[in-house]
Amino acid sequence: QQSNVTAYGATTVAIITLETFAGMCINAFILSVLCTGWVKKKSLNSNEKILLLLGCSRFWFLCLSWIYAFLSKIYPFCLLVHPIFQLLQGACTVFICSNLWVSACLCVFYCIKIASFRSSFFIYLKVKIDRMVPWLLLGSVIFSIITGILVYNTVDKALCKDFNSTCLGIFWKETLRIEEHFYPIIFLTGFLHTISFMAVIFSAALLLFSLWRHKRKMQTNSTNTLSMEAHIRAMKSILSFFIMYSINFISLILTLVYSTKYENHFTFLVSLIQQAYPGVHSLFLIFSNPKLEKTLLWILSCVKRKVC
């Protein structure tokens, strides 16, 4: 039985490692391209600022979540050393929240920049959005750090309460069971996740409606096919982002629901979804950004020439 557990843990780590490595490479590519452009131009536009912070938060989330998965499956007793488990939980929470909030900022930014409405408030936002982006990103980072600190303190109190447990299985069950002091942090984290999700829903719905309305006007006026294709591509991109964000949001909520229960196959499936999302969505961002897409295709063509 022990060998089966070891084999299962090794398989789990291998799968997560593949997802993590792919996601880290994708986000490292985004960071390298943006930082190279930053050095050359001495400045970043609003879209690039959001992508830079998003790529950074995803890179470090993948790195820390892999460390946690590796230790929990291969060297689980290392997590009993104070304060390794608390730090990993707190740091992962910071980058998970940052990922969600910055992704929401990206969707809101696209909505305000691309969508076309005659509302005076919407026009005001369109004019001021570039000045608002740094403050939105700063607010996202502050909220994420505060949430991470709260998670660290909550987990630390729970672990210290039953720190004398020697059996790891009993340790997890005793220290991570649902207790009264867990409810506030679970509720707060879920509430913040829901706010970011509502912002994405609202922004994506407005943007899709604006693009769909504009597409119908172009059909009526017999506008050129290239413009039509661009709008259809933008609608598909927003819709795919919304679907992926929704799946990730649901997995995070399920993680909160089952966070105080001993690990099972269901939580493993949820963790695989969370581990895959940063890389998959970042890949979509690359192909929806002309600069990133052009650089990636150039690199792939160079690699292909060298291999051939």
pLDDT in tens, 228-238: 666 666 677 78
CA distance 67 to 79: 11
To the question of domain 1-163+176-307 being in CATH 1.10.645.10, the answer is no
Picking from 132-141, 213-222, 274-283, which range would have the lowest pLDDT averaged per residue? 213-222
Q: Which amino acid is at 71?
A: L
Report residue 172's pLDDT band, with 50, 70 and 90 as the boundaries: very low
Q: Give the orientation angle of helix 84-114 with respect to helix 265-288, to 10 degrees.
A: 40
pLDDT in tens, 75-107: 878 887 888 888 998 999 999 999 999 999 998
> CA angle, 146 as apex, 52 and 107 as ends, to 5°?
40
CB half-sphere exposure, 157, CA atoms < 13 A: 10
pLDDT at 212: 80
Alpha helices in the chain (DSSP H): 2-41, 46-73, 84-114, 120-161, 168-175, 182-220, 225-257, 265-288, 290-307
Q: Tokens 């390794």 sit at which residue?
A: 84
pLDDT at 289: 83
Contact at 8 Å (CB) between 67 and 32? no
Report residue 247's pLDDT band, with 50, 70 and 90 as the boundaries: confident
Asked if residue 167 has pLDDT above 70, the reply is no
Tokens at residue 112, please? 């305000």
Asked if residue 166 has pLDDT above 50, the reply is no
pLDDT at 1: 45
CA distance 200 to 15: 30
pLDDT at 230: 61
Report residue 115's pLDDT band, with 50, 70 and 90 as the boundaries: confident
Q: Tokens 């939980």 sit at which residue?
A: 89
CA distance 153 to 288: 40
Burial class (CB in 10 A: 0-12, 13-18, 19+), 39: exposed
CA distance 187 to 191: 6
Domain ranges of the chain: 1-163+176-307
pLDDT at 25: 94
